[in-house]
Amino acid sequence: MQEEKACGRALAKAHVHVRKLACHTVPRILLAGVVVLAGVRGNPPGGKPASILALLIAAVIALAAAVWVLFPLVHCRDYVIFYEHAVEICGKIWTLDELGSISFMESKANYSFFARTYLCTDVRNFNITYIKDVKKNFNRAYLEQAP
């Protein structure tokens, strides 16, 4: 309660963008499915694996593929709440003085189809790719003048 009083009242909230999360996860699932089907079709699982090493390598590859496919789902509970004197990013409250200057950056890697969005501060850059309308809510909370 004391912490809420120090932050001030909530000005705007931004929660996860479910459609964007799905658009980043579904192609990964489809690509992994095609690879699995091609592997099974080329090498039907008829008997025991050739060796324990082959089984371990297949398990490591399957685990790595599962992590790659499901990685965007880590961001399911991301959110940002803008207060009068602070910002709460995924459960951690940062005061505006702590954060310093705030800007937004979008970057796209050469090997990626999708761009990543960051909330850049003096403390660190926060990945806000899967949060809906953060920049709009930031502008609404801090930059629009009250009548």
Per-residue model confidence as pLDDT tens for the chain (147 residues):
445 567 788 888 999 999 989 988 898 899 888 887 776 666 656 666 667 787 788 788 888 888 988 888 888 888 999 998 899 998 889 988 899 999 999 988 777 778 889 999 999 999 999 999 999 999 988 887 554
Ordered by start, the domain boundaries in the chain are: 2-16+78-143, 19-72
Backbone angles phi, psi at 71, to 5 degrees: -55, -45
- Rg, C-alpha atoms of the chain: 22
Rounded to two decimals, the pTM is 0.75
Residues 6+ apart with CB under 8 A from 81: 10, 12, 13, 14, 87, 88
Q: Outline where 8-147 has alpha helix (H).
A: 18-42, 52-70, 96-99, 134-138
Buried b (16+ CB within 10 A) or exposed e, 122-142: eeeebebbbbbebeebbeebe
Most distant CA pair in the chain: distance in Å? 75
Residue 1 has what pLDDT? 43
